[in-house]
């Protein structure tokens, strides 16, 4: 499996030299300075490639695009979408012309990954990302004041939400809003409460069925081009894997993934397997999901979570938490072996250690939430050890 690292571009305080010290050789990045919907030109892509490869001794390459964003208008299905589809196809053509053939994307309405606490304390003084169900309910019901929101939360969670809200200060509420917005990459809009209400209103008629139809329309428009170019597109699961702020989520379970792949059957319509996102949903069996959809996996995010009965969850150590990471890695290595024996040129599956706890000297540093160096380095090292042990025991290529 290709060891990769998410890098936020030249302004990232974690440098490419640091990335190489982790043992990763593949870079997962995007042109974050380009607003969503604007074409990625060949010049811009080539400039970023030159930056990544400027020191040949590092041996780094831009391995995966994460993400090539999709405009909300496409998810809503509003207006004439063909120009937007063509711009997306043009960006794919330019990426392929520059030799980049794996693209991760998501179809989550309005918000990307969502947490309520970006620095929850862990034993020993580290920090972790956390989703507290009662804080989310307080935001949904008492800050956003979404109509009918109370019906979406269990009574005991709602009671704790009311208690939190009544005891909170304006600073507490501002911090909660900022935390919930933190999952959006830099080129996306951050919303204040009025702006978020306006955005949610645009989705008022978008049910899960309609959102899935709009995804199908997008796939029909862009996947044939991706297939011609040899690009594999991997949809990222919802994070958290549940409806959020009244918005539907359609990539949250095994059944959802099967439905997405059925929307447009093609080697280019694939899956980014995120063990943390899917692992936050009770009932999701990650080794079974990985095995069922193995041939469709074009990229993997390997991280772990620990779930609470009320729907809360926290980012765990990569080999801790509720997901059997060893079993997932075994499935991925077995799938690689199948591809290699079938003669596939790109048989290795790129993966990255997704998210990570703030540990040691990284505590308090201004890294992107969930993306400190040391926590991810630990995760990559642990997964590398699992890979090595499984490959030697079962005779599978790394």
From 290, 304, 306, select the one nearest 349 (Cα to Cα). Answer: 290
Q: Which of 117, 274, 317, 362 is catalytic?
A: 274
| Pair 363, 122: CB distance under 8 Å | no
Sign of the alpha-carbon torsion through 128, 376, 101, 269: negative
Strand order in the sheet with 127-131: 117-121, 127-131, 313-316, 304-307
> CA-to-CA distance for 326 and 331, rounded, in angstroms?
9
Determine the distance from the C-alpha atom of residue 23 to the mean position of all C-alpha atoms in its chain, rounded to a whole number: 22
Q: Which of 301, 317, 318, 362 is catalytic?
A: 301
Q: Is 134 a catalytic residue?
A: no
The 3-state secondary structure of the chain reads CEEEEECCCCCCCCCHHHHHHCCCCEEEECCCCCCCCCCCCHHHHHHHHHHHCCCHHHCCEEEEEECCCCCHHHHHCCCCCHHHHHHHHHHHHHHHHCCCCEEEECCCCCCCCCCCEEEEECCCCCEEEEECHHHHHHHHHHHCCCCCHHHHCCHHHHHHHHHHHHHCCHHHHHHHHHHHHCCCCCCCCCCCHHHHHHHHHHCCCCCHHHHHHHHHHHHHHHHHHHHHHCCEEEECCCCCCCCECCECCCCCCHHHHHHHHHHCCCCCEEEEEEHHHHHCCCCCCHHHHHHHCHHHEEEEEECEEEECCCCCEEEECCCCCCCCHHHHHHHHHHHHHHHHHCCCCCCCCEEEECCCCECHHHCCCCCCCCCCHHHHHHHHHHHHHHHHHHHHHHCCCC
Residue found by looking up tokens 């042990």 in the block: 389
> CA-to-CA distance for 298 and 273, rounded, in angstroms?
8
Structure tokens that stand for 132 in this block: 């507290």
Q: Which of 104, 256, 355, 362 is catalytic?
A: 355
Q: Which of 117, 140, 354, 362 is catalytic?
A: 354
Q: Is 98 a catalytic residue?
A: no
Q: Is 371 a catalytic residue?
A: yes
Q: Which of 105, 136, 140, 236 is catalytic?
A: 236
Q: Is 355 a catalytic residue?
A: yes
Q: Is 236 a catalytic residue?
A: yes
Q: Is 264 a catalytic residue?
A: no
State the catalytic residues: 236, 274, 301, 354-355, 371
């Amino acid at each position: 499996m290709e060891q990769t690292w998410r890098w936020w571009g030249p302004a990232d305080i974690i440098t490419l030299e640091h990335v190489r010290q982790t043992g990763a050789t593949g870079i997962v990045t995007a042109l974050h300075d380009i607003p969503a919907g604007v074409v990625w030109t060949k010049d811009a892509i080539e400039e970023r490639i030159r930056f990544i490869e400027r020191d040949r001794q590092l041996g780094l390459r831009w391995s995966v695009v994460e993400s090539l964003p999709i405009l909300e208008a496409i998810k809503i299905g509003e207006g004439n979408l063909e120009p937007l589809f063509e711009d997306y196809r043009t960006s794919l053509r330019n990426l392929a012309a520059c030799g980049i053939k794996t693209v991760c994307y998501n179809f989550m309405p309005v918000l990307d990954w969502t947490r309520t606490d970006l620095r929850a304390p862990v034993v020993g003084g580290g920090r972790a990302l956390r989703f507290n169900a009662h804080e989310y309910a307080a935001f949904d019901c008492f800050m956003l004041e979404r109509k009918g929101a109370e019906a979406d939360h269990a009574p005991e969670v709602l009671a704790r939400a009311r208690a939190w809200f009544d005891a909170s200060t304006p600073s507490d509420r501002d911090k909660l809003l900022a935390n919930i917005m933190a999952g959006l990459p830099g080129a996306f809009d951050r919303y204040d409460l009025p702006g978020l209400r306006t955005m949610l209103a645009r989705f008022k008629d978008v049910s899960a069925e309609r959102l899935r139809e709009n995804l199908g329309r997008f796939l029909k428009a862009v996947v044939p081009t991706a297939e011609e170019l040899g690009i594999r597109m991997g949809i990222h699961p919802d994070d958290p894997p549940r409806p959020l702020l009244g918005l539907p989520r359609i990539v949250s379970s095994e059944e959802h993934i099967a439905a997405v792949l059925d929307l447009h059957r093609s080697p280019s319509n694939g899956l980014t397997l995120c063990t943390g996102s899917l692992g936050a949903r009770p009932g999701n069996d990650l080794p079974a999901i990985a095995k069922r959809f193995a041939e469709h996996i074009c990229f993997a995010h390997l991280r772990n979570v620990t779930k609470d009965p009320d729907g809360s969850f926290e980012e765990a150590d990569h080999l801790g938490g509720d997901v059997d990471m060893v079993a997932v890695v075994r499935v991925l290595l077995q799938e690689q072996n199948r591809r290699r024996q079938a003669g596939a040129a790109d048989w290795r599956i790129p993966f990255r250690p997704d998210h990570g706890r703030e540990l040691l000297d990284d505590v308090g540093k201004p890294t992107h939430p969930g993306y400190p160096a040391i926590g991810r380095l630990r995760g990559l090292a642990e997964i590398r050890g699992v890979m090595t042990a499984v490959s030697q025991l079962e005779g599978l290529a790394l």
